Chain A
Amino acid sequence: MGLLGYFRRNEPKKSSARSAKDRLQIIVAHEHSSSVSPAYLPEMQREIVEVIRKFMDISNNDVKCEFSDNAEDDMSVLEVNITLPKSK
């Protein structure tokens, strides 16, 4: 680095390492929350299907269970979405 470079060093510049860390913190936290779904989820999904099937004609794919952790609200949400066949 020469003489000019020495003066340029004093210019304030945004730290790219800082941006890297901030971005990673968000994405890592997000991936952690989405990956932690309880082990009983598939079994519960199967049982829900069984119960509904007693009354309606649905397949395994018609029930979607999603588990999400919301760190801010200090609670977890279980979302169950069931697609029913059109009533005739």
Chain B
Amino acid sequence: MAKVIVVTSGKGGVGKTTSSAAIGSGLAMTGAKTVIIDFDIGLRNLDLIMGCERRVVYDLINVINGEANLQQALVKDKRIPDLYILPASQTRNKDALTKEGVQKVIDTLKSDGFEYIICDSPAGIEQGAMMALYFADEAIVTTNPEVSSVRDSDRITGMLSSKSYRSEQQLTPVKVHLLITRYCPERVQREEMLSIEDINDLLGIELLGVIPESKDVLSASNLGEPIILNQDSDAGKAYQDAVDRLQGIERDFRFVTYQKKGFLSRMFGG
């Protein structure tokens, strides 16, 4: 049974595309046929993060308008055999996304045997974001430990339970997961940053993963390689844990506590 998973957040710049790329890649690496759809019409970036920007010919809007078929628009990943990207249009208006059009694309993907359909949502709560979440079975709400991001995540969680197909048809509600990104245990210990528990109390969403702040994420996007492929990196390992949990495998939370430095290293600024 195919699963439609939206990666959303409300606020911009919290790591939706990075997370879509990492989680989509992780799922495809299990051998499940996976597609990541970029819903950020006019500001496409998933292609860059995935390193396939030079192979984009057609896009989501072309498919919706019947100017290309799905096979022509899907970009096959060169590293992971079962992974495909469906890029956003760079030139069109986001109103080109219609409910019927998106439904048609998702239905075609399902009948083509895709097991995971990851919808990378744009920021905000306008047409693009609403279309990205409308058909979702599950949602990954990406949140930074920061006030505006937490508030927006709460808002988008409300949208998932009132503005989605599942809510309108009164089906089982969208299963919502919380993904905390750019977490810095050291700053949490100094009480400069909201903790996992704080965010949990505020949002009340089941925790899927905690990705530590890491310079490897920027390096990965510089190279156009999903961060999950770097298993030497803490962030890459944390994304792998999240992918495992998404499939029902239990994993302990890593990289969430800070090991205090010893007296000597503090004295000498080590």
A positions within 8 Å CB-CB of B: 1-3, 5-6, 15-18, 20-21, 23-25, 27-28, 31-32, 35
Contact B202 A25 (CB under 8 A): yes
For A14, the closest partner residue in chain B by CB is B191
Contacts of A20 in B (CB 8 A): 146-147, 194, 198
Total residues of chain B contacting the partner, CB 8 A? 20
Q: Is the CB of A21 within 8 A of B151?
A: no
Contact of B191 among A18, A27, A28 (CB under 8 A): A18
> How many residue-residue contacts, CB under 8 A, span A and B?
49
Query: Is B198 touching A17 in the complex (CB atoms < 8 A)?
Result: yes
- Indicate whether A6 sits within 8 Å of B150 (C-beta atoms), given known contacts A17-B188, A18-B191, A24-B202: no
B-side binding surface: helix, strand, loop or mixed?
Answer: helix
Residue B193 CB within 8 A of the other chain? yes
Residue contact A16 to B191, C-beta cutoff 8 Å: yes
User: Is B192 in contact with chain A by the CB < 8 A criterion?
Assistant: yes
Those of B178-218 within 8 Å (CB) of chain A: 188, 191-195, 198, 201-202
Q: Is the CB of A17 within 8 A of B154?
A: no
Q: What is the distance, in angstroms, from B194's C-beta to the closest C-beta of chain A?
A: 5
Contacts A17-B191, A21-B198 supplied; 13 other A-B pairs, CB < 8 Å: A1-B269, A5-B266, A6-B266, A16-B191, A17-B193, A17-B195, A20-B147, A21-B201, A25-B201, A28-B150, A28-B151, A32-B158, A35-B158
CB nearest to A15 among chain B residues: B191
Residues of B within 8 A of A5 (CB): 266
Closest 9 CB pairs of A and B: A15-B191, A17-B191, A21-B198, A28-B154, A20-B147, A2-B269, A24-B202, A17-B194, A20-B194
**Which residues of the partner chain A approach B154 to less than 8 Å between Cβ atoms?**
28, 31-32
Closest beta carbon of chain B to A53's beta carbon, Å: 31
Partner of A28, one of B146, B194, B202, B268: B202
Question: Assuming A16-B192, A31-B154, is B266 touching A21 (CB within 8 A)?
Answer: no
